[in-house]
Structure 1
Amino acid sequence: MAVSSSNTDAVLITVDQSGTGDYRTIQEAIDAVASNNSELIYISIKPGTYREKIVVPADKPFITLSGTEGFNTTITWNDGGDIFDSPTMSVMASDFVARFLTIRNDFGTRGKGIALRVSADRAAFYGCRITSYQDTLLDDFGRHYYYNCYIEGATDFICGNAASFFQSCQLHSLAKNLGTITAQHRNSPLENTGFTFLGCKITGLDNATVLGRPWGSYSRVIYAHTYMSSAISPDGWRDWDDPSNQRTVYYGEYKCYGPGADRSKRVGWSRELSHDESAPILNMTMIGGRSWLRPAPTRFRKHVK
């Protein structure tokens, strides 16, 4: 990552539906950022519900979108069908940050309706609420970090082939039966991708949800130090009706707790990790986070239209 200004100095753009900010819509603020931008851009979004379909294009890196609280700053749309066309918000640019936003797709239970698509490297989300029903978070590709986020859905609601680290997040299943939290899409043992959940919390209806199933035959998902409520069914994992996946997936649990963490009835092809096996994954090595995660700016320069 290289930017022309320091990591504590950013250009400030404000979005306010009342008209007192620089722009009334979030997309207008994003559109105002220069192509091939090399400055940190901090787009501060005033509380409200923004009915917009947002795209952060690939040629506009180093953008932060920030609300004040996840509950009072909402981006929402209502679209379904194709997973790449339906997202309420699509992040295509590297070095992106979102803070304290609700990102929602109101398509409902009719099928795939993505709230957030992340198709870029080095993206981080702090204190965000990401909600839909099926394929809520399309964690498509790149290295991503989610901290203290609330992610809600029923079917494959965290899916894709990114290398992602979820820390202190709540995963809430809406499923009444046969729900699935993850559908990780790793297709080869050579790919350094997978989802790691550290210190998270899983909630939902009793015995209605499993931890994951393989969208790709080498799917890799790890849960560590995570509270699993009775929402997790005793078998824990599914092979997507293809027993050959059982030989190639890497599904592990390490020191999880709660009624859903009992491994006595888990499928035999999932793993209870040892301390040594868990050590490499209980940090940000896979996402290289120490080299690109940055603190929120502390100094701001006014945006000039």
Structure 2
Amino acid sequence: MRRRTLLLTGVAGGLTAAGSRPASAAPRRRVLHVRPGGSVQAAVDAVDGPGWTVVVHPGTYREVVNIPAHKAGLTLCGATRDPRDAVIVYDNAGGTKKPDGTTYGTAGSATFTSAAPGLTVRDLTLANDWLRADHPEITGTQAVAAYLTGDRSSFDNVRFLAHQDTLFVDTGALDAFDRQYFRHCHIEGDVDFVFGRATAVFEQCHFRTLARDVDFTPKGMVFAPSTARANPYGILAVRCRITSGAEDGAYKLARPWVPSYETTAWPSLVVRDTWLGPGIDAVAPYTDMREAYPWQSMRFAEYRNTGPGAALSVPENRPRLSRAQAALHTKETYLGDWRPYA
């Protein structure tokens, strides 16, 4: 049977579907292509079941993209292997006012939001280019590039760009421990720019702290986990690297986030086999977010890290895993029966 290509009307620019076939024919892989002038959100809206792939062609797409929970099993990918070629970007902050006069809040500021289980994203840039300097009247300066919930969400060769709260790794409910996997990704920001309560594994990723024109230190923190007490696994970074555009020692590795809506949270972070550049404060790499929840009472640990930011100058400030403990903190134990890396 001859393959057909369908033009989806109602969208400016090129949005096409390839592989459409009559219901009686054997199923083919269903693909939507988004080209400059088109809309990634329109393609997501057109998806009508599992197994769809949305291919984003080179260009900058200034829009907010929201993938709802019922769009399970969706793949979203750039048309080339270079994530810089296809960019989805917007500029809302937590304090930005909506048309009704209320503000977006942290999660609502996200350029890219997904609650869909089984999501796969590859070879894209997801960015929030809101800048504090351009909006001195706004005090809610959180500006999220991606807000993620939904179990089994996988990101490969994706760039996440913003300043404060770049990547929000969350769960769909307080009794859920959604799993997320990031491989060969680039994540940059300044304050708490990887944060949330998901079981999130980062493998061979690059975390980049940004320069800030402020006269105080620390200038920010890389991680701010808010893991549920009942979850044995929080954020794991393995075989990654952390570099900085700021001066030496300007950033902390992490601080714990205990949200007001979950005061029983017990943040968990393990950074292992990772190179920490001089931008990380080697003397005191952790700090508190609130005095009531000191970092020393949290599940923070490191194992076999290297680099100037990993120097063991004050041992009590750097909890270390034993070899036996480290065997429990691997991508296999965190992700369980899900094998996105296989």
- Give the unaligned 5+ runs of structure 2: 1-27, 95-104, 136-140, 172-177, 259-264
Is 1:17 aligned with 2:36?
A: yes
- Tell me by how many angstroms 1:241 deviates: 4.1
Query: What are the Cα deviations for residues 145-166 of structure 1, in whole angstroms up to 9, with x where unaligned?
Result: 0000000000000011000100
Larger radius of gyration: 2
- Tell me by how many angstroms 1:140 deviates: 1.0
Is 1:77 aligned with 2:77?
A: no
Letter paired with 1:137: L
1:113 equivalent in structure 2: 143
1:186 equivalent in structure 2: 227
1:248 equivalent in structure 2: 297
**Per the alignment, do residues 195 and 26 of structure 1 end up closer, same or farther by CA in structure 2, a change over 3 Å counting?**
same
Letter paired with 1:242: E
SS across alignment from 2:92: coil
- Identify which of 44, 47, 55 aligns with 2:55: 44
- Identify which of 101, 112, 115 aligns with 2:124: 101
- Tell me by how many angstroms 1:41 deviates: 1.1
Distance in 2 between residues matched to 1:286 and 1:15, nearest whole Å: 34
Letter paired with 1:182: F
Is 1:225 aligned with 2:270?
A: no
**Per the alignment, do residues 261 and 270 of structure 1 end up closer, same or farther by CA in structure 2, a change over 3 Å counting?**
closer
1:5 equivalent in structure 2: none
Is 1:87 aligned with 2:87?
A: no
Letter paired with 2:338: S
- Tell me by how many angstroms 1:284 deviates: 2.4
Percent of aligned pairs with the same residue? 29
2:239 equivalent in structure 1: 199
Letter paired with 1:115: A
Distance in 2 between residues matched to 1:123 and 1:129, nearest whole Å: 15
4+ residue runs of structure 1 moved beyond 6 angstroms? none
Distance in 2 between residues matched to 1:115 and 1:182, nearest whole Å: 15
SS across alignment from 1:84: helix
Letter paired with 1:16: R
- Give the unaligned 5+ runs of structure 1: 1-8, 19-23, 296-305
Query: What are the Cα deviations for residues 253-276 of structure 1, in whole angstroms up to 9, with x where unaligned?
Result: 11000111102225x264111111
The answer to whether the Cα contact below 8 Å between 2:114 and 2:147 also exists between their aligned partners in 1 is yes
- Tell me by how many angstroms 1:42 deviates: 1.1
The answer to whether the Cα contact below 8 Å between 1:155 and 1:175 also exists between their aligned partners in 2 is no
SS across alignment from 1:281: coil
Query: What are the Cα deviations for residues 124-151 of structure 1, in whole angstroms up to 9, with x where unaligned?
Result: 0000000100000011121000000000
The answer to whether the Cα contact below 8 Å between 1:122 and 1:292 also exists between their aligned partners in 2 is no
- Identify which of 327, 331, 334 aligns with 1:279: 327
Distance in 2 between residues matched to 1:193 and 1:55, nearest whole Å: 27
The answer to whether the Cα contact below 8 Å between 2:277 and 2:308 also exists between their aligned partners in 1 is yes
Distance in 2 between residues matched to 1:187 and 1:56, nearest whole Å: 25
- Identify which of 180, 191, 199 aligns with 1:155: 191
The answer to whether the Cα contact below 8 Å between 1:246 and 1:269 also exists between their aligned partners in 2 is no
Distance in 2 between residues matched to 1:294 and 1:197, nearest whole Å: 15
1:53 equivalent in structure 2: 64
- Tell me by how many angstroms 1:294 deviates: 7.3
Letter paired with 2:74: I
**Per the alignment, do residues 88 and 246 of structure 1 end up closer, same or farther by CA in structure 2, a change over 3 Å counting?**
closer
The answer to whether the Cα contact below 8 Å between 2:189 and 2:210 also exists between their aligned partners in 1 is yes
Distance in 2 between residues matched to 1:117 and 1:25, nearest whole Å: 19
Distance in 2 between residues matched to 1:50 and 1:154, nearest whole Å: 24
Distance in 2 between residues matched to 1:160 and 1:281, nearest whole Å: 18
Paired residues for 1:19-34 under 5 Å? 24-34=38-48
Query: What are the Cα deviations for residues 19-77 of structure 1, in whole angstroms up to 9, with x where unaligned?
Result: xxxxx21111100011xx2x311111111000110000111101111002211110000
Query: What are the Cα deviations for residues 167-188 of structure 1, in whole angstroms up to 9, with x where unaligned?
Result: 0000000154411001101242
* Higher fraction of strand: 1
2:206 equivalent in structure 1: 170
Aligned-residue Cα RMSD (Å) equals 1.7
The answer to whether the Cα contact below 8 Å between 1:175 and 1:209 also exists between their aligned partners in 2 is no
Distance in 2 between residues matched to 1:186 and 1:73, nearest whole Å: 32
The answer to whether the Cα contact below 8 Å between 2:286 and 2:295 also exists between their aligned partners in 1 is no
**Per the alignment, do residues 14 and 214 of structure 1 end up closer, same or farther by CA in structure 2, a change over 3 Å counting?**
same
The answer to whether the Cα contact below 8 Å between 2:256 and 2:295 also exists between their aligned partners in 1 is no
Distance in 1 between residues matched to 2:114 and 2:153, nearest whole Å: 8
SS across alignment from 1:214: coil
